[in-house]
Amino acid sequence: MDNSSEGKANSIEEVVNVAEFEAIAKRKLPKMAYDFYASGAEDQWTLRHNKIAFSRIRLRPRVLVDVSKVDMSTSVLGFKVPMPIMVAPTALHKLAHPEGELATARAASSVGTIMVLSFSSSYNLEEVAGASSGLKFFQLYVYNDRKIAESLVVRAENAGFKAIVLTGDTPRLGRREADIKNRFTLPPNVTLKNLEGLMSVELDESKGSGLEAYASNTMDRSLSWKDIGWLKSITQLPILVKGVLTGEDASLAINAGASGIIVSNHGARQLDGVLPTIVALEEVVNAVQGRIPVYLDGGVRRGTDIFKAFALGAQAVLVGRPVIYGLASDGQAGVEKVLKLLSDELELVMSLCGCCSVDDIKPSHIDRASDFFSSRL
């Protein structure tokens, strides 16, 4: 990726873009933690292309538009937010910072946006709910023991979470070779805190990634579209399906009663070789035909990326690694800075493209005849 200022900042004060947080985080974190956060599956082709694909889309700005007022606000599942950028669910924030998900929740709340808390968080969902008054959704994995999901969904609803994000792309964990080499395991002060009292969490790293071995024993590989009905029978909350990359699955999600879709390849950590999300987005949006909202994550690092996702039909984006790197760099303040940088950049690109609201961002603001669209990659 051509990111000329990537990695140049020596301190938080010097950071001028989101990508620069990664180098600071890398310096601060133990190798095992940094590699866990940074890596993708296998050859990491999709990891690279999640970003490259954004850079291949050109913008078509409109000029001499009155942009003296630019409003980035939108609504997500009926909740008004000042910017269309959410915190994606990512595991184990305590590996990045002692205040972990508590700091992330406070940061999301202070900028007014939504945090999706990972099932695999290192503070439990009640602790995170109590950390800030901001809007939160809960991401769900379903284990072989379905009572665990049932218990967590009820707890999330009682704690005030406003939606369940069902991750559909993880019947097994992808092959993350850095974690295999590092024999990934958890330090004594970090665990999957939501599971305390429900099951013991022990990672066996003797043959490779302890997390992969653990997931392989616990994840319910039989989970399928019919289980959305089961999920709807245990919660009143809207359900977003995360991990959709095809029009076929988008239609199945709608038929199953999903309230929204997150186009995601899990930050390229599951199946290497799948389409970059910004490329998959158009097919999903075409299949959905406006019936439910479509959100996107994967490789979003610039306001221009967010703008391009909107031009292709996304109604909000989520960011994963940048939030973790901000957290590792400077706790709550670091996450706030990441979210603020992205929203400032979005406001600028909207102004420079002649868009006063996110609804003004249209397909005509991007160049559909570029090499990106003729070759798709």
Ligand X SMILES: CCCCCCC(=O)C(=O)O
Ligand Y SMILES: Cc1cc2nc3c(=O)[nH]c(=O)nc-3n(C[C@H](O)[C@H](O)[C@H](O)COP(=O)(O)O)c2cc1C
Annotated binding residues for glyoxylate, written as ranges, equal 141, 167, 176, 266, 269
Residue 200-239 contact track with ligand X, rule CB under 6 A, x = bound: -----------x--xx------------------------
Q: Are strands 164-167 and 239-244 parallel, antiparallel or unpaired?
A: parallel
What residues are designated binding site for FMN? 89-91, 118, 139, 242, 264, 297-301, 320-321
The Cα–Cα gap between 15 and 12 comes to: 5
Residue 205-224 contact track with ligand Y, rule CB under 6 A, x = bound: --------------------
Q: Which of 93, 136, 266, 308 binds ligand Y (CB under 6 A)?
A: 266
C-beta of residue 307 within 8 angstroms of C-beta of residue 347: no
Return the DSSP state at 89. Answer: P
- Of 49, 93, 97, 266, catalytic: 266
Return the DSSP state at 140. Answer: E
Q: Which of 122, 264, 304, 343 binds ligand Y (CB under 6 A)?
A: 264
| Tokens 């939606």, located at residue | 163
The Cα–Cα gap between 39 and 269 comes to: 7
Minimal distance, residue 44 CB to ligand Y, in Å: 12
Q: Residue 260 interacts with ligand Y (CB under 6 A)?
A: no
Say whether 49 is catalytic: no
Classify the C-alpha dihedral 24-29-30-32 as positive or negative: negative
The Cα–Cα gap between 106 and 276 comes to: 30
Chain centroid to CA 161: how far? Answer: 17
H or E element in which residue 110 lies: helix 100-111
Residue 199 DSSP SS3: coil
Q: Residue 91 interacts with ligand X (CB under 6 A)?
A: yes
- Of residues 233 through 272, those in contact with ligand X by CB under 6 A are 266, 269
- Of residues 269 through 328, those in contact with ligand Y by CB under 6 A are 269, 297-300, 319-321
Residue 345 binds which entry of ligand Y, ligand X, none, CB below 5-8 Å type-dependent? none
Q: Residue 141 interacts with ligand X (CB under 6 A)?
A: yes
Instruction: Tell me the residue nearest to ligand X as measured from the CB.
Output: 91
- Of residues 18 through 47, those in contact with ligand Y by CB under 6 A are 36-37
Residue 338 binds which entry of ligand X, ligand Y, none, CB below 5-8 Å type-dependent? none
The type of residue at 194 is N
The Cα–Cα gap between 86 and 332 comes to: 15
C-beta of residue 12 within 8 angstroms of C-beta of residue 334: yes
Q: For binding to ligand Y (CB under 6 A), which residues are involved?
A: 36-37, 50, 88-91, 118-120, 139, 167, 242, 264, 266-267, 269, 297-300, 319-321
Task: Cite the active site residues.
Answer: 266
